[in-house]
Chain A
Amino acid sequence: MYVIVVGGGRVGYYLAKALLDEGHEVLILEKAAAIASIVSDELGSICVRGDGCEATTLASVGTNRADMLIAVTGDDEDNLVACQVAKHMFNVPRTVARIRNPKNENIFKTLGIDVIVNTTNLILESIEEEVPTHTLTHLRDIRDKGLGIVEVKIPPDAPTIGKPIRELSLPEGSVLSLVIRKARKPIVPSGATILEAEDQIIAVTSHESEEALRAALSGQ
């Protein structure tokens, strides 16, 4: 595969390195002369100095035969334009953009970018997984459906402990899929399942109902 990476900062550099190791043809486009020369010194002649948003630069590096363009500069607007130019002028089949402002995810999707990597949310998600004080943890988004898979941990002092699930007022659009208990096999919950302290409940829920789901399960 021929992959063009726009932006030779740390993300672009390590990404290019990984892609090279996988045997792909890689080219980094970097605007700043100093950074471009560092990348060339380290990775060899896979870096061209130039603006990845400019059609002439993209033409000169053979963007029309690229299978993918990945824009990872520090500026969301530059990443958007690089992907749009690649798509509309050079028919690149797949464009990937990194965004810093999470609110831009929707905008980029609307404007036709194929894959959007939201670095801020990625970091937030791993923080949530690491910090056990959060009752509700995002495990994964189900793209384009407005749904997410979440984990809710029943706190040791929750007033819902000892109650069957059917007595909880779960929000509409939330489905409990699995209950994981210490040293026991995971069970698929029914209305009669009785909550225990430290239960980990895996559920599918709409984004809007997340808070209501957490409140219903933890009773807090």
Chain B
Amino acid sequence: MKVVIMGCGRVGARLASLLEQDGHSVTIIDNDSYSFRRLAPDFKGTALIGNGIDEDVLRSAGIEEADAFIALTQGDNRNVMASQIAKHIFNVPRAVCRIYDPLRRDMYAELGIETISPTTIFAQILREKLESQGD
């Protein structure tokens, strides 16, 4: 599978390594080259400097042949815009997007974007941890 990841933060860098270990071809985009220090030293995929909401940058990242696109920058709006470009302009089969704001997450889920809200998930995990009998 060919995967394009936007945002080389802790999650993006880790996901890139995991996918690579599983034998996928990974391209990761970030607008700050300093972010690429987070990539594992043996990362063999492509790291590309650029703005992920720019069509041309996405094209040079190989979005036209990608099987999946994942948006993981700090900005909910950037993520949502990039995912929609991937889905509706480049017809990438899967576009997954991180949205911190739960309300925005729900709306874009209804609009057909695969979305994950770390806010909701993490709060749930914490609640379960606290309310379980602590083992």
Contacts and interface: CB of A to CB of B under 8 A. Distances in A.
Interface of A: 53-56, 75-78, 80-81, 84-85, 88-89, 101, 103-104, 106-107, 110-111
Contacts of A80: 77, 80-81, 84
Contacts of B98: none
A80 B108 CA distance: 13
Contact of B104 (A77, A81, A110): A81
B61 to A, nearest CB: 15
A101 B54 CA distance: 8
B53 interface: yes
Interface of B: 53-56, 75-78, 80-81, 84-85, 88-89, 101, 103-104, 107, 110-111
B55 A77 contact: no
A75 B104 contact: no
Contacts of A84: 107, 111
Given A80-B77, A81-B104, A88-B111, 18 more contacts: A53-B104, A54-B101, A55-B101, A55-B107, A56-B103, A77-B53, A77-B77, A77-B78, A77-B80, A77-B81, A78-B77, A81-B77, A85-B104, A88-B110, A101-B54, A104-B53, A106-B89, A107-B88
B80 to A, nearest CB: 6
B131 to A, nearest CB: 27
B89 A110 contact: yes
Main secondary structure of the interface of B (DSSP, over half): helix
A77 B75 contact: yes
Contact of B54 (A81, A103, A106): A103
Contacts of A76: 53, 81
B104 A55 contact: yes
23 contacts: A53-B76, A54-B103, A56-B103, A76-B53, A77-B75, A77-B78, A77-B80, A77-B81, A80-B81, A81-B81, A85-B104, A85-B107, A88-B110, A88-B111, A89-B107, A103-B55, A104-B53, A107-B81, A107-B84, A107-B85, A107-B88, A107-B89, A111-B84
A160 B54 CA distance: 42
Contacts of A88: 107, 110-111
A104 to B, nearest CB: 8
Contacts of A101: 54
A46 to B, nearest CB: 24
A121 B75 CA distance: 26
A104 B81 CA distance: 10
Contacts of B85: 107
A36 B76 CA distance: 22
A161 B27 CA distance: 55
Nearest to A80: B81
A72 to B, nearest CB: 15
Please name the 9 residue pairs, one residue from A and one from B, whose CB atoms are nearest each other, closest first: A55-B103, A77-B77, A77-B81, A81-B77, A77-B78, A78-B77, A80-B81, A110-B88, A103-B55
A89 B111 CA distance: 11
Nearest to B110: A88
B88 A53 contact: no
